[in-house]
Structures are given as C-alpha cells and as structure tokens.
Amino acid sequence: MALPRHQLSLGGPLIGHIGLGCMRMSDKGPQGDETEAIRTIHRALELGVTMIDTANVYGDGHNEELVGRAIADRRNNVFLATKFGIVRGEGRHGVDGSVANLRQAIEASLRRLNVETIDLYYLHRVDPKVPIEETVGAMAQLVQAGKVRHLGLSEASPKTIRRAYHVHPIAAVQSEYSLFTRDVEQNGVLDTVQELGMALVAYSPLGRGFIAGRFRTGDDLPEGDSRRTTPRFSGDNLAKNQQLADTVKMLAQRKGCTPGQLALAWLLRNVDVFPIPGTRTVAHLEENVAAAGIRLTGDDLTAIDAALPMGAVAGMRYPESQMALLDR
C-alpha cells in the first residue's frame, strides 16, 4: 500500500505520515555503513516517506553531508528537515539560540546539505538565555530570504510554543513520543499543537529501539552508545522496562505484527502526529513503513493502555545533564 500523506500543519504541505530519522546513520562503529544508509534513504523515498530528518549536531555535521549526498539527485521528492541550537566542541557545550549562531548555522547546514532551501528548520533546544521571540524572529527572516520554508521547535513547552507562534507560524513541534514516553499527553504539548494547527513530529517513536526488541541488556548496545548512560536503560529500571517491552511483544503477536509496528500504529492513529523512526537498514525501514497498514480497534487501544499506563516506564529518558536542557 502507498504510505498515506497528511498535511504537516494547517495549510501546510502534504507529506508522508511516517518520516525517517537519520541521526544514527552517523554513529561510529561497525554498523556505521554509509552505503547501506544511503540505500535506506533511497528506499524510504521509493516507499513514500518524504520527511528526512537530520541536524547540524548529528555526527558533528557528518549526518547532514550524508543526507545531502543521498538526496542530491532526488531533491524534489524530499521534505528536508534539519536543526540548529545545540552546540558542542571548541569549548562550548549546551544550547545557543542567538542570532549570531543561527546565521552561522544556517549557512553551514545549507553548504553541507548542498541545497538552496531547507523545508523545515527547527530550533533544536530552547535557549533560556535568549527570548524565544528573538530567535524565532531571526528564523522568520530566513523564510523571507528563501533559505527556509517552514519553522519548527524541538522539545518546547506549551508556553514557549505559544510565544513563538505569535511571532511567526510554527509548522511542527518535535518531541519524544512513544508508548514508552507519553509526556506530551500530560504536559500540554500535544493539546497545544493541535489547538494551534501544528504537527507533532515524534522522535524515538520506538522507545529508542527498546520497544522494537533491538536490545535486551545494556551489553547489547555498542560501546559509546548514548543509551548506555540513560537511566531508563540501566540497572533495575532496565529490568522493569524489559517486562513492559515483553508485554508490547505479546500484544503485537495477538495483532499479527511486530512490536515496533504496533508502537508506530498507536501513534499513526492521530493524523497530526508524524513519527520519524530512525534506522540504518532497508529491512528495518520496510518493517516500519508497513505499520501504516495496521488499524487498531478500540479494544486494541484499551488493551495497550491497560498494559502500558502513563507513568509505567521506570527512569528518566535522559541523564540529568540532558534533562536540564529541556524546556519545561
């Protein structure tokens, strides 16, 4: 079946309901196969995936270069999303939403991606030192200059979203959202974006691979993988959360699909939510896209909510140092 398309925001472009997160394509190690990564991006476009998501900080710029090479001869089929605002290296580590950083970041991203225009440009994290009106006002100038088509925010609070919205239309808010992370249902973010006609772009929709059964213990993760330091995936929290993942697996078996497909179908029931599962292989991509053909009944949803009630997952989703960067 063809991947359904929905409007990204009120009056926005029609794009595939499932996107592709590219961050881990730039991970170091034996699985960092650029050839397979580019094959995966090409296959995604063939299947009707249009949103390709990257950021200037992924792989210290390598990910944008990789995506740029992959889409060079098929730019018209891509809704290209990237981000700025997180800074690392050269004595800096944190968030920088300043106008000066924005101006440098956009030019660097355009160069690495080898494009003239970015379809969706996010502020990756909200900078508490810079009024959101100042940052979004400067981002709006990029729209006027033709360098960006639509603006987005990532991990922004309802108050920040509303303040930004009064400066310039915001097409999408990106937040972590999955069966394992349902914060947006409690903190007002989902209600706010729906009220204002925006899309919610759900990153890590497979619980950082946990729901999909990609690993069962911390030792299954490559050395240096950031998930090794995540509270949710260590110690007693990991053991408890593995039981939840096993429950998802059981529910998926009853439905005749994989756990990852069940988790994506749960998100896709809402046309305003666009999950962007990350993968580096064609096989996992095809499995993810097939989730668009799964329809969950009312009984299915009731069983899922009973098995994974809000707050059931143990541990924070980031280490404390990264939690401190979230706009809450």
d(CA 248, CA 265): 12
pTM for the full predicted model: 0.94
Amino acid present at 135: T
Higher pLDDT, 101 or 320: 101
Instruction: Let me know if 58 is a catalytic residue.
Output: yes
pLDDT in tens, 66-105: 999 999 999 999 999 999 999 987 666 789 999 999 999 9
Residue 56 in contact with residue 108, Cβ under 8 Å? yes
Q: State pLDDT tens for residues 199-244.
A: 999 999 999 888 876 666 666 666 666 676 777 888 888 888 899 9
Q: What is the model's pLDDT at position 1?
A: 65
- Catalogue all structural domains in the chain, each as residue range(s) with its CATH number: 5-206+266-294 (3.20.20.100)
Q: Of 127, 212, 199, nearest to 170 (Cα)?
A: 199
Q: Which of 58, 121, 165, 318 is catalytic?
A: 58
Query: Other C-beta atoms within 10 Å of 323: how many?
Result: 12
Mean pLDDT of 320-326: 83
Higher pLDDT, 219 or 307: 307
